[in-house]
Amino acid sequence: MNERLLNREQLAEIRALARVRPEFPEQMLLLFREAATEALDGCRDAWLEQDARQLESFAHRLKGTASSFGASQLREQAERLETDAGREASIQRQRLEDIEQTIEATYRAYADWLQRA
Amino acid sequence: MKRDQVEPAKDCVVGVIDDDPVNAALLEAMLARAGYTGLTFASAADFRRRSGPGSVDLILLDWDMPGESGLDFLRLMREQEQMTTPVIFVTNYDRDEQIAQGLNAGADDYMTKPVEATVLMARIESVLRRLNRNGEIVERWPPFEFDVSQRSLRIDGKSRHATNREFELMLFMFRRHGRVVTRESLLTHVWRLSSNVATRSIDTHISRLRKLFGLDGSSGWRLEGVYQKGYCLKRVEGSEASPDPDA
């Protein structure tokens, strides 16, 4: 498993919580995809409208979702986007593309982990 | 607490106000494992609409939420609505000035995401302990006053004897007044039994409470049965009791 994508310690915590709620690991995957996609869409809209404040806010939200999910790389990327929300549009565009790919990669890595568990 | 261990149920309801469904689900599962009942709310408005401060024993509060922020919610609740329910911020904001701002607004503690379960539970227990030590031990729903540390009850300022079970049962219902409480919940939190035990004992106790303590409406409060669900403690409309401080 790619540890840059998913934090091993957080996965262990999610697995442990499955003892209380067996459906919890799968529930987390669905919630992650929904919340991360929604936050990314918000970032994109803000970028299109050149609204730095909104971009910062949605990037912050994405950072929180990534953090709770243990998605280390996504968290770092969202944090960079949040910090540099006011910088030139071309940089943000590249960052948004990177984030989109990382969300997909994180989703696949977690789904693989679920299957192996 | 060990990670693989499920703790026995505690008589403590923790509200989680967080618009991030991933974090809310994570916190709720951690609370369930530690024996707490977790209730999640997607926003401050959702909390006000569905619940209210008197119905939870502690709140885990996110800061950055659409609409009313956690900080604004806390300030308003502390300053205008006199809410004393303990609050722990659980947020991504990790700068020193933000932590200070959160605590100055009335938070009892402050944690940054991601939270580690053992630390979260230790902080919750610490806040609840501190609250008890600081004298916030008398809970009032006029004309009822529950001294939680002494396990004593006063109605209209007069001491009234209540058995331990009666005390626990009334306190549990008053803390959740206006909400339907299931028999299963009473068995778990007041009787500390699993829900496959006969519920006749609960019905008997409820009848006694109505007669002995005026929970038939004569005290300004009515303990009503809710068909096939459980019970609900309601303030009687137009009663002369003082306004509910938590409402």
- Do residue B20 and residue B129 come from a single domain? yes
Would residue B1 count as lying in a domain? no
Confidence (pLDDT) at A2? 76
Q: Which residues of A50-70 are buried (b: 16+ CB within 10 A; e: fewer)?
A: eeeebbbbbbbbbbbbbbbbb
List the Cα angle A27/A40/B74 in 5-degree steps.
75
Specify the fold of A8-116.
Answer: Four Helix Bundle (Hemerythrin (Met), subunit A) (1.20.120)
pLDDT tens track for A50-104: 899 999 999 999 999 999 999 999 999 999 999 888 777 778 888 999 999 999 9
Confidence (pLDDT) at A84? 84
Q: Do A65 and B23 touch (CB under 8 A)?
A: yes
In order along its 247 residues, chain B shows pLDDT tens digits of 566 666 666 778 899 999 999 999 999 999 999 989 898 999 999 988 876 656 688 999 999 888 899 999 999 888 876 677 899 999 988 899 999 999 999 999 999 988 999 999 999 999 988 776 444 578 889 999 998 777 889 999 999 999 988 998 999 899 888 888 888 778 877 776 655 556 678 888 899 999 999 999 999 999 999 888 889 999 987 765 544 444 3
Would residue B242 count as lying in a domain? no
Q: Which domain holds residue B218?
A: 138-235
Chain B environment of A63 (Cβ under 8 Å)? 92
- Do residue B76 and residue B111 come from a single domain? yes
* Final residue belonging to a domain, choices B112, B133, B154: B133
Would residue B3 count as lying in a domain? no
Confidence (pLDDT) at B109? 95
Confidence (pLDDT) at A19? 87
Confidence (pLDDT) at A40? 97
- Do residue B39 and residue B121 come from a single domain? yes
Percentage of chain A lying above the pLDDT 70 cut: 99
Confidence (pLDDT) at A70? 93
Confidence (pLDDT) at B56? 81
**Residue ranges per structural domain of chain A:** 8-116
Taking the CA atoms of A20, A23, A26 and A27 in sequence, report the sign of the dihedral they define.
Answer: negative
Question: B39 CA to chain A: closest CA distance, Å?
Answer: 15
* Number of CB pairs, chain A paired with chain B, less than 8 A apart: 63
Confidence (pLDDT) at A41? 96
Question: Given its phi and psi angles, is residue B151 left (phi above 0), alpha (psi -120 to 50 degrees) or beta?
Answer: left
Give the closest of A20, A69, A70 to B29, CB-based: A20
- Do residue B143 and residue B123 come from a single domain? no
Confidence (pLDDT) at B91? 93
**Residue B21: which CATH number?**
3.40.50.2300
Number of domains in chain B: 2
Can you give the pTM of this predicted structure? 0.70
- Do residue B26 and residue B123 come from a single domain? yes
Whether B37 contacts chain A with CB within 8 A:
no
- Do residue B104 and residue B167 come from a single domain? no
Nearest Cα residue in chain B from A9: B116
Would residue B192 count as lying in a domain? yes
Confidence (pLDDT) at B3? 60
**Could you give the dihedral angle defined by the CA atoms of residues B70, B73, B79 and B82, in that order, rounded to the nearest 10 degrees?**
-110
Closest C-alpha among A10, A6, A2, A71 to residue A35: A71
- Do residue B85 and residue B103 come from a single domain? yes
pLDDT tens track for A1-50: 677 899 998 999 999 999 888 999 999 999 999 999 999 999 999 999 98
ipTM of the complex: 0.90
**B143, HSE (Cβ side, Cα atoms, 13 Å):** 19
**Residue B145: which CATH number?**
1.10.10.10
